[in-house]
Amino acid sequence: MHLALFLIFGAICVAGAINLLVQSHPINGALSLVVVMASLAVEYLLLGAEFVAAVQVIVYAGAIMVLFVFVIMLLNAGVEEHTKGSRVALLFGVPGMIIGSVLIAWLLLTNSGTGAVAAGALPGAPRDLAQLLFHEFLLPFEVTSVLVLIAIMGAVVLASKPEPLPPPEEER
Amino acid sequence: MNIGLYLAISLVKIALALFVLLTAVAYTVWLERKVVGHMQNRWGPTRVGPFGLLQPLADGVKFLFKEDLTPPHVYTPLYIAAPIIAVVFALTSIAVIPIGNPVTIAGHLIPLQITDLNIGLLVVLGVTSLGVYGIALSGWSSNSKYSLLGGLRASAQMISYEIALGLSLVGILIMAGSFSLQDIVNAQAGTWFGFIPRWNIFQGQFFAFFIYLMAAYAETNRIPFDLPEAETELVAGYHTEYSAMKFAMFFMAEYANMITVACLATLLFFGGWHGPLFGPPILRAILPVVWFAAKIFAFLFLYIWVRGTLPRFRYDQLMAFGWKFLLPLAIANVIITALIVALKS
Question: What ipTM goes with this model?
Answer: 0.85
Q: Which of B270, B261, B301, B266 is nearest to B162 (CA)?
A: B261
| Cβ-contact B144, A76 below 8 angstroms | no
Q: Report CB contact under 8 Å: B152, A69.
A: no
List CB contacts of B304: < 8 A, sequence separation 6 or more: B31, B32, B35, B36
Q: Which of residues 109-138 of B touch A (CB under 8 A)?
A: 117-119, 122-123, 125-126, 128-130, 132-133, 136-137
Residue of B236, B216, B220 whose CA lies nearest to B228:
B236
Q: Do the chains contact at B122 and A74, CB–CB below 8 Å?
A: no
Q: A74 touching B, CB under 8 A?
A: yes
Rg (C-alpha) for chain A, rounded Å, is 23
3-state helix, strand, coil split of chain B in percent (to 5) is 70, 5, 25
Q: Does A51 touch chain B (CB under 8 A)?
A: yes
pLDDT in tens, A142-172: 999 999 999 999 999 998 887 777 777 666 5
User: Does A97 contact chain B (CB < 8 Å)?
Assistant: no
Average pLDDT, chain A: 86
Task: Give the type of residue at B111.
Answer: P
Q: What was the pLDDT predicted at B232?
A: 60
Is the link from the previous residue into A167 a cis peptide, with omega within 30 of 0? Answer: no
Residue A59 confidence (pLDDT) above 80: yes
CA distance A53 to chain B (A): 10
Kindly provide the b/e burial profile for residues A139-149, where b requires at least 16 CB atoms within 10 angstroms of the residue's own CB. Answer: eeeeeeeeeee
pLDDT at res. A170 = 62
For A22, phi then psi, to 5°, come to -80, -30
Does A55 sit within 8 Å of B130, measured CB to CB? no
Cβ-based contacts of B155 with chain A (< 8 Å): 66, 70
Report d(CA B309, CA B286) in Å as an integer. Answer: 35
The CATH number, out of the four listed (3.40.50.80, 1.10.1740.10, 1.20.120.1200, 3.40.50.2300), of the domain defined by the range A1-79 = 1.20.120.1200
- Chain B residues within an 8 Å CB radius of A57: 126, 129-130
Answer yes or no: are the C-beta atoms of B129 and A62 closer than 8 Å.
yes
What confidence score (pLDDT) does residue B337 get?
93
Coil, helix or strand at residue B194: coil
Compute the distance between CA of residue B237 and CA of residue B233 in angstroms, rounded to an integer: 8
CA distance, residue B68 to nearest chain A CA (Å): 25
How far apart CA B135 and CA B145 sit, in angstroms, is 15
Q: C-alpha A75: how far from its chain's center?
A: 21
Please answer whether residues B137 and B81 qualify as being in contact, where contact means their C-beta atoms are separated by less than 8 angstroms: yes
Q: CB of B170 within 8 Å of any CB in chain A?
A: no
Does the pLDDT value for residue A141 go beyond 70? Answer: yes
- Candidates B225, B222, B238, B237; CA nearest to B312 is B225
Decide if B214 contacts B310 (C-beta within 8 A). no
Residue B96 near residue B266 (C-beta atoms within 8 A): no
CB contact under 8 A, A50 and B137: no
> Touching check for A138 and chain B: CB below 8 Å?
no
CB–CB of A58 and B132 under 8 A? no
Report which of residues B28 and A111 the model is more confident about: B28
Q: Specify whether the CB–CB gap between B83 and B68 falls below 8 A.
A: no
**Are residues B140 and B78 in contact, defined by beta-carbon separation less than 8 angstroms?**
yes
Annotated domain spans of chain A: 1-79, 123-160
Of B122, B155, B179, the CB nearest to A58: B122
Q: For chain B, how many helices (H) and strands (E)? A: 12, 4
Nearest to A51 among B119, B137, B140 (CB): B119
Length of chain A: 172
Give the integer Cα–Cα distance in Å for B49 and B67: 26
| Residue B108: its H or E element | strand B108-110
Inter-chain residue contact B126 with A73, CB threshold 8 Å: no
| Interface touch B129/A126, C-beta < 8 Å | no
Give chain B's end-to-end CA distance (angstroms, integer): 39
Chain A residues with CB-CB distance to B96 below 8 A: none
Question: Which chain A residues touch B133 with a CB distance below 8 Å?
Answer: 31, 34, 66, 69
CB atoms within 10 A of CB A50: 21
For chain B, say whether A77 makes contact (Cβ under 8 Å).
no
Rounded Cα distance, B256 and B21, in Å? 7
Number of Cβ within a 10 Å radius of residue B335:
12
pTM for the full model?
0.88
Contact assignment for A70 to B119 by CB distance below 8 Å: no
A62 and B129 within 8 Å at the Cβ level: the answer is yes
- Are B204 and B340 within 8 A, CB to CB? yes
Contact A66 B78 (CB under 8 A): no
Residue B107 DSSP code? T
Q: Which residues contact A18 (CB under 8 A, 6 or more apart)?
A: none
Say yes or no to pLDDT of A120 above 70.
no
For residue A41, the chain B residue with the least C-alpha distance is: B126
Number of A:B CB contacts under 8 A? 64
Confidence (pLDDT) at B312? 86
pLDDT at B51: 87
- Residues in chain A within 8 Å Cβ distance of B78: 27, 31
Helical ranges in chain A per DSSP H: 2-22, 26-46, 50-55, 65-74, 87-111, 126-131, 138-159
Q: Using CA atoms, how far apart are residues B26 and B248, in angstroms rounded to an integer?
A: 11
What region does B143 belong to: left with phi over 0, alpha with psi -120 to 50, or beta?
A: left
Residues B136, A61: C-beta atoms closer than 8 Å: no
C-alpha B138/C-alpha B153 separation (Å) is: 12
Give me the average pLDDT of each 10-residue run along chain B (345 residues). Answer: 86 92 94 94 90 90 88 89 93 88 78 83 91 90 85 89 92 88 86 79 86 93 81 67 85 92 91 85 86 93 93 89 93 93 88
Contact B132 A62 (CB under 8 A): yes
- Interchain contact, B125 vs A58, CB within 8 Å: yes
Neighbouring C-beta atoms of residue B100, cutoff 10 Å: 21
Of A27, A62, A126, the CB nearest to B130: A62
Q: Is A50 on the interface with B (CB under 8 A)?
A: yes
Break chain B into its structural domains and give their ranges: 70-344
Question: Would the pLDDT of A15 be above 60?
Answer: yes
What span, in angstroms and rounded, lies between the C-alpha atoms of B131 and A58?
A: 11
